[in-house]
Every structure is written in structure tokens, then in C-alpha cells.
């Protein structure tokens, strides 16, 4: 089946509506020109808009099913000499991302490389070392070089021929023309000159100098160039395969075996991809969670690092959500499936990252345009080099050598790989760390950020209310006050009530059951506990219900400016104590804000909380500015104002009330679990939560963009410098082939370095 997304009510520049989207797996691409040709062909189909990614070997096509079918797309790709098939909706077991194809391609390249190198090496040694030559050795060199040129170079020749049939050119055209030209000249020299009769020693000069006695035999050029370029292609394939491993890891939970619990308690084994919503399954210590679900019973420490990048396990119990692919460290959990298959968090994350990798950065569109005209220009340059050198009196051999070197050394594979390889590795590494980058445009946005706006609750704070101080009056103990207060609040769903219940658990007090309870919204609760009427809530509510406040309590609270909510509790005509409850600041928020400042950003705290509470948090964290008591609409207005001032704004939030600001900001970053609305409105999602994750998100986005720019600089610099050297005969064709292969390997290696990205050390 094709992975066809839900029909969307969309319109593009051509007025298309009811568009579908499909992904194609492509085969036979050897360079960026191949990708450009397939993309151009698909875009010529009526009602289709395609993007082809050379690094991922996939095409993403948005199309109008009323005008074009998937069969038309497959036929169009096949017609220009490439293979294509629809991406399967459900990955094969053990091959969740199609990585087997990448493995097979690399294996085939390695086989051709080993055989070609084994045959080409003696040819090279015979050409370089006169002492190894014997009578008629040139015929042995001819016998060894021929299979290298035709069998080893077959992928290049096939791609070049497919291009030629459609009157187009690719980078393989340069390789094929260069190797066949060198081989053809050698045939001429062997059969029609005295080099073949006398066993003339081939010239191998790094300066391109040739013998003045006889025409050169270029069998070493024809064979070694093929072997060297195969080596470069093999390293590229290995690099691309490794780069896709992060997404493979994310999706790999789809083939594990799960113990399913039947209604009568019987246990049966089933593959996790066969689970249905509502199924109950068992997760023992050391096992992976089969799919997203809700914990029905049991408690355990669970490793969520695959999804969130968190280094420490998280404790889960009854009522907690859990994701497929997480690992149960200890304990025993019974989970009810809530999302299965492509709806799971892991599957969605893998899909979003893959979509981001398939998109093109703005700079890549420029590279595509350059590549489309580069090859025919190089062929013309090679011909011009030969003609100019002939008229300059250099002779046919020197002219031919220089022309072949130009063809080979100019092959711009490195330019084609520069952007997609870095994007592939960077987004994959980010996903491993629990950072979701939604597209290449995010990288440019992250580079320009000079202002970071932080929501308070759930971003710089934990988002969970907890008791930070308990003050008692008279002979009342903390345990007694907590027990009576928790009993009265037991039926409430208010966050402050939840904090009181948690506090009761923490200090291990027995909470009695309230006999009756009544609440007044926003004020407090009254209840009968063990026959005693208990009043809990605001000070005004307690006083209105006849409770007096002891002077010692007034003195303890006098002048307090702590950013806390106060819950008073009392009975028998007197307030017995007060609970200070607050959303505590994350332990790493202060250091993370300092790190943001070192990245060159002004940090603003934006919250709907009271001015007093916001200022207190702002002072503790050392932010540059605090904006408090802001409505959700007001948050968006604040971002608008900053943008009008010429600032490049990153908005960081986790709730529905942050969605408007996230969408308007230059860079929207949702943190923690977040809401679906916040995640959809954001450009970056940090699953680990907190400001520390934001620091890492901006750092890796900037690092990836820097890698892309570095790749492009060296790729363009290489071609700019290399072509004149070849044209002036300063580079031998064999050296040209080695240099061309090295430029591609450099780009791949430079991109793979992103796997070494580490989290910032935040104290």
C-alpha cells in the first residue's frame, strides 16, 4: 500500500483542491542531478508537485487524484531510467524505515569496489614502476582494466545512457565519458600505434606530462578512476545509511512481542503492530512498551529516553500515560492501548522528522539550479580545453589528458550532498535527544534569534503545584493540620487540592474521610471531618465563616513577598495554620537562561500570573525583562510588538494559551508534554521539557546550519579551484578522480560529525 495521507482541503498556486500526498522510494540515483531530473519529470505531470531528496532517496508528491494517479508517477520515473515504488504504510518487520534497501545498495557497491580495486591495482603498479614491466605487459593491463571499466563502471554507464536517451546530462555522464574516453584512447594506442607493438611503458605523471616518443596508454586512468569513484560512492552510501539510523530507532518498536491479557486473565503473545485500541497488555521489567497507552495498574520506573532524550527514568503508575518504545526498568505494568500503528507518538515523531529531512532548505534550491546546468557547461569546458591546448601546440596527448581530467574532477557530487546530508544527520541526532525539528527553514530562523520569550508555568517551572512551606498555630501539628485539610479537599479537582493530597502522602499521614463537603468556587471548601466542621480556602473565606487568625500566624506571614498561593485551614473558631503552595522553578532553569544569554539572546519572562509572583521568579532566574498578567491574546500581541521592533523572536511555551504567540514568533518552541495545539503551532518541539532543552534545540539547529554552509563552501571552493588546475594540465585524470571522490567523502564525513553533538553542560 502507498502511504497516502488524508485528503486535505488545500489550494496551491494552480488552484488545485482535494490534494493527496504520496511518498515514493527511488532507486538508481547516483547524484544530485539524478534527483533534479526525477523531480523535474514528476513536476511535469498534471496536478502534481514533487520534491526529491537525494540523501533519503525518496520523492514526496502532492497531487490531484482527479488529474494524475500513482501509477502515472511510477511510470514517469521508470521512463527516465530509474526505479520507483510506493512507500509501504506498514513497515516490514525488522525493517521499519526501508533501511534494507540502503544496506543492499551499500553491499552491492562494496562488492563492485573490492573486485574493481583488486583488478585496477596491478594496472596502476605496472604503470608507475618500470621494474615490474615485462614483455607484452600492456596486454595484461588491458585484460585487467577492461572488466573494471565495463563491469565496475556499469552503474555510471547505465545512468549516463539513461540521461542521454532523454537528451539530458548527469554527473555520471562526466564519469562515464572520462573513463570511456581514456579506455578508448588506450585501445587506439594499443592496436594502432607502436605502443602496442613495443610494449610502451605508460606514463603516470602527477603533473600530466606525457612521453614525446609515443601516444600514452591510459588504462590506469580508466580503471583507477572507476575504482576510486566507487570507493567514494560506497562511503556515501554508508554515511547515508548511518544517517537514517536515528529514524529507524524511533520506528523500531513496531515489531516487538507483547503479552496481551484477555478478559478472563489469560495471557497470549502478539506482535505489537497487531494490537488494537482497548487491548490490555502486560509490561514486565526489562520489556519495551508495545504501544501508547494508559497504565491501569502497577508502578515502575520507565526509560523514556528514546522519545524525550531524558537521561533519568520517570516513575509511572495508575492513570499515567505511557508511550510505545519506552522501556520498563522495574516493576510490572498493565497497560490499556490508546493509540496503535501510525497513530503512536513514536510513529508520528518518526514521520515528522522524515518529512523535515525530505524538505529542502532555501540554499538547496540554488544548488539544484546550479547542478542542472553545471554538467553541460563542464562538457563544453572539456571540449574547449582540448581545442585551446591543440591550437596552443601542446599536442593531442596533452590536450586529451587535460580534457579527461576536467570531465572527472568537475563532477559536483559534493554540492548535491552538502545540504541533504547535513539535514539528515542533524535532524536525526536532534530526534535522538528528544528535539523535533520540523523543517530546514527552522535552521535559518534559529541562527537569527536575538530574543527568547519564555512562558512561566510548565516552562521555567515544573508546572505542578506543591507545598513549599507549612505554618501552624498553637499546639496544632503539621500532621494534624494536613490530615484535616486533605480530608476536606479530597473531593476537589483543583490543583491546590491536588498539591495538598500529595503533601499528605509525602509526610505519610492518615487522611480521614469527610462526612460532608461543600465548596464555593474560587473561595474555599467546608466539610465535616470526624464530626468537626473544617474550613479551608482563602483568608477572607475563613474569616467569613467565623475563624479568627492568631497573632502568631499574622506575625509569621507579615511582609512575605514569596510568589506563592496561601491556603488557610481551621476549625473550632480559629485558623490553625496556612499552606504555602507554589509551582516550583526547575532546578536547571537559571543556568539554562544564562546559557541562552551566552548564545546572544535577550530573555523575557511572559506570563499570565500576577506581577508579584512573576517578578519574584524573574529576579531569581535573572531574566532581562518580565511581562506579567497577560492574556493568551496578549501574548501574541507581545510577540507582534517585538517583531515590529525588528527583533527575531523565539517563543517558548507548552499550553493552548501559548499557541498564538508560538505561531507568530520567528521560531516557536513547545516544551515538555505540551498540548497538541502548542506542538502544531511550533517549529521546534523539545520533549525533554524545560529551558535546558531549548538551549540544546537552538544549538543543534545552528550547528546543523553551520555544517550545511561549511559543506557548500568546500564543495564550491573545490570545483572553483579544481577545474582550472585540470584545464591547465596540472592534474592527472587519476588524481582528478581521487580528488573528486574525496570532496564527496569530505561532505559526508563533515555531516556525520553532527552525531557527536552533546547536550550543553548546564549546572
What DSSP string runs through 603-659?
EEEE-SS-HHHHHHHHHHHT-SEEE-S--HHHHHHHHHHHHHTT--EEEEE-SGGGH
Residue 661 carries which DSSP code?
A: H
To which residue does cell 475563613 refer? Answer: 542
Q: How many CB atoms lie within 10 A of CB 448?
A: 13
Which is nearest to 571 in space by CA: 542, 533, 541? 533
User: Measured between alpha carbons, how far is 625 from 290 in angstroms, rounded to an integer?
Assistant: 45
Q: Is the dihedral of CA 373, 378, 379, 380 positive or negative?
A: positive
Cβ atoms of residues 706 and 714 within 8 Å: no
To which residue does cell 568537475 refer? Answer: 410
Q: What Cα–Cα distance (Å) separates residue 49 from each residue in 9, 25, 35, 312?
A: 16, 16, 14, 44
What DSSP string runs through 163-174?
HHHTT---HHHH
DSSP bridge pairs for 509: none
User: Measured between alpha carbons, how far is 310 from 294 in angstroms, rounded to an integer?
Assistant: 20
Which is nearest to 153 in space by CA: 239, 227, 241? 227
Cβ atoms of residues 707 and 754 within 8 Å: yes
Q: Is the dihedral of CA 542, 540, 568, 497 positive or negative?
A: positive
Q: How many CB atoms lie within 10 A of CB 54?
A: 28
Cβ atoms of residues 137 and 126 within 8 Å: yes
Which is nearest to 140 in space by CA: 129, 127, 151? 127
Cβ atoms of residues 120 and 183 within 8 Å: no
518: Cβ–Cβ under 8 A, 6 or more apart, which residues?
525, 526, 527
Which is nearest to 22 in space by CA: 45, 50, 57? 50
Q: What Cα–Cα distance (Å) separates residue 683 from each residue in 223, 354, 438, 662?
A: 49, 15, 6, 8
Q: How many CB atoms lie within 10 A of CB 444?
A: 17
To which residue does cell 539550479 refer? Answer: 369
Per-residue buried b or exposed e for 485-503, using 16+ beta carbons within 10 Å of the residue's own CB:
bbbbbbebeeebbbbbbeb
Residue 658 carries which DSSP code?
A: G
Residue 64 grid cell: 490531484
Q: Please give the backbone phi and psi of residue 22, each rounded to the nearest 5 degrees, phi first.
A: -140, 150
Q: What Cα–Cα distance (Å) separates residue 739 from each residue in 196, 207, 228, 230?
A: 30, 14, 9, 13
74: Cβ–Cβ under 8 A, 6 or more apart, which residues?
24, 84, 85, 86
To which residue does cell 520489556 refer? Answer: 287
Cβ atoms of residues 502 and 510 within 8 Å: no
Which is nearest to 398 in space by CA: 735, 127, 732, 126? 732
Catalytic residue numbers read 455
Q: Please give the backbone phi and psi of residue 111, each rounded to the nearest 5 degrees, phi first.
A: -60, -45
Amino acid at each position: 500500500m502507498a502511504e497516502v495521507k488524508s485528503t486535505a482541503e488545500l489550494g496551491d498556486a494552480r488552484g488545485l483542491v482535494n490534494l493527496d500526498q504520496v511518498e515514493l522510494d527511488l532507486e538508481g540515483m547516483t547524484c544530485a542531478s539524478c534527483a533534479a531530473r526525477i523531480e523535474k519529470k514528476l513536476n511535469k505531470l498534471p496536478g502534481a508537485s514533487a520534491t526529491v531528496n537525494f540523501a533519503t532517496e525518496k520523492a514526496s508528491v502532492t497531487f490531484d487524484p482527479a488529474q494524475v494517479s500513482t501509477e502515472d508517477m511510477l511510470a514517469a520515473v521508470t521512463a527516465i531510467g530509474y526505479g520507483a515504488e510506493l512507500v509501504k504504510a506498514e513497515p516490514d518487520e525488522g525493517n521499519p524505515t526501508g533501511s534494507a534497501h540502503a544496506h543492499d545498495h551499500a553491499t552491492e557497491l562494496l562488492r563492485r569496489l573490492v573486485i574493481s580495486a583488486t583488478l585496477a591495482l596491478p594496472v596502476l603498479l605496472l604503470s608507475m614502476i618500470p621494474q615490474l614491466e615485462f614483455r607484452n605487459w600492456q596486454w595484461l593491463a588491458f585484460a585487467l582494466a577492461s572488466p573494471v571499466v565495463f563491469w565496475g563502471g556499469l552503474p555510471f554507464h547505465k545512468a549516463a545512457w539513461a540521461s542521454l536517451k532523454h537528451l539530458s546530462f548527469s554527473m555520471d555522464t562526466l564519469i562515464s565519458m572520462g573513463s570511456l574516453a581514456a579506455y578508448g584512447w588506450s585501445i587506439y594506442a594499443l592496436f594502432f600505434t607502436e605502443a602496442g607493438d613495443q610494449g610502451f611503458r605508460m606514463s603516470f605523471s602527477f603533473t600530466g606530462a606525457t612521453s614525446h616518443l609515443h601516444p600514452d596508454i591510459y588504462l590506469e586512468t580508466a580503471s583507477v578512476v572507476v575504482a576510486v569513484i566507487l570507493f567514494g560512492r560506497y562511503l556515501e552510501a554508508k554515511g547515508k545509511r548511518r544517517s537514517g539510523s536515528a529514524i529507524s530507532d524511533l520506528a523500531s518498536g513496531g515489531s516487538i512481542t507483547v503479552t496481551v491479557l484477555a478478559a478472563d486473565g489469560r495471557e497470549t503473545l502478539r506482535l505489537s503492530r497487531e494490537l488494537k485500541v482497548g487491548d490490555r497488555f502486560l509490561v514486565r521489567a526489562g520489556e519495551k512498551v508495545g504501544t501508547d497507552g494508559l497504565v491501569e495498574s502497577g508502578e515502575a520506573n520507565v526509560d523514556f529516553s528514546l522519545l524525550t532524550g531524558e537521561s533519568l527514568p520517570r516513575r509511572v503508575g495508575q492513570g499515567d500515560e505511557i508511550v510505545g518504545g519506552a522501556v520498563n526498568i522495574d516493576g510490572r505494568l498493565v497497560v490499556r492501548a490508546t493509540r496503535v500503528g501510525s497513530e503512536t507518538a513514536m510513529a508520528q515523531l518518526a514521520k515528522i522528522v522524515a518529512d523535515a529531512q525530505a524538505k529542502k532548505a532555501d540554499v538547496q534550491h540554488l544548488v539544484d539550479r546550479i547542478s542542472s546546468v553545471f554538467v553541460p557547461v563542464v562538457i563544453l569546458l572539456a571540449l574547449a580545453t582540448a581545442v585551446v591546448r591543440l591550437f596552443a601546440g601542446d599536442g593531442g596527448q596533452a590536450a586529451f589528458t587535460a580534457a579527461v581530467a576536467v570531465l572527472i574532477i568537475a563532477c559536483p557530487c559534493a554540492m548535491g550532498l552538502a545540504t541533504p546530508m547535513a539535514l539528515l544527520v542533524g535532524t536525526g541526532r536532534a530526534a535522538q535527544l528528544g528535539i523535533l525539528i520540523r523543517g530546514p527553514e527552522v535552521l535559518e530562523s534559529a541562527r537569527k534569534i536575538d530574543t527568547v520569550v519564555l512562558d512561566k508555568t510548565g516552562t521555567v517551572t515544573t508546572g505542578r503545584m506543591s507545598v513549599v512551606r507549612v505554618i501552624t498555630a498553637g499546639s496544632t501539628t503539621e500532621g494534624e493540620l494536613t490530615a484535616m485539610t486533605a480530608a476536606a479537599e479530597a473531593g476537589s479537582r483543583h490543583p491546590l487540592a491536588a498539591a495538598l493530597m500529595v503533601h499528605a502522602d509525602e509526610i505519610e499521614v492518615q487522611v480521614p474521610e469527610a462526612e460532608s463537603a461543600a465548596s464555593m468556587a474560587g473561595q474555599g471548601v467546608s466539610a465535616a471531618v470526624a464530626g468537626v466542621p473544617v474550613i479551608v480556602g482563602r483568608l477572607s473565606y475563613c474569616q467569613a465563616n467565623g475563624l479568627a487568625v492568631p497573632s502568631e500566624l499574622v506575625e509569621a506571614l507579615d511582609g512575605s513577598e514569596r510568589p506563592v498561593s496561601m491556603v488557610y485551614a481551621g476549625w473550632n473558631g480559629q485558623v490553625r495554620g496556612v499552606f504555602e503552595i507554589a509551582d516550583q522553578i526547575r532546578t536547571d532553569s537559571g543556568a539554562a537562561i544564562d546559557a541562552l544569554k551566552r548564545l546572544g539572546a535577550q530573555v523575557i519572562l511572559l506570563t499570565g500570573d500576577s506581577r508579584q509572583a512573576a517578578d519574584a521568579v524573574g529576579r531569581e532566574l535573572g531574566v532581562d525583562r518580565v511581562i506579567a498578567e497577560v492574556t493568551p491574546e496578549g501574548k501574541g500581541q507581545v510577540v507582534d510588538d517585538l517583531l515590529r521592533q525588528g527583533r527575531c523572536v523565539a517563543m517558548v511555551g507548552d499550553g493552548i494559551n501559548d499557541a498564538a504567540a508560538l505561531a507568530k514568533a520567528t521560531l516557536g518552541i513547545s516544551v515538555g508534554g505540551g498540548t497538541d495545539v502548542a506542538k502544531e503551532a511550533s517549529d521546534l518541539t523539545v520533549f525533554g521539557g524545560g529551558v535546558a532543552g531549548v538551549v540544546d534545540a537552538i544549538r543543534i539547529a545552528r550547528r546543523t546550519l553551520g555544517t550545511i554552509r561549511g559543506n557548500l563552501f568546500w564543495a564550491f571552493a573545490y570545483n572553483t579551484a579544481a577545474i582550472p588546475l585540470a584545464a591547465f594540465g596540472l592534474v592527472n585524470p587519476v588524481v582528478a578522480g581521487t580528488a573528486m571522490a574525496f570532496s564527496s567523502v569530505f561532505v559526508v564525513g563533515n555531516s556525520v560529525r553532527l552525531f557527536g553533538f552533546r547536550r550543553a553542560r548546564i549546572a
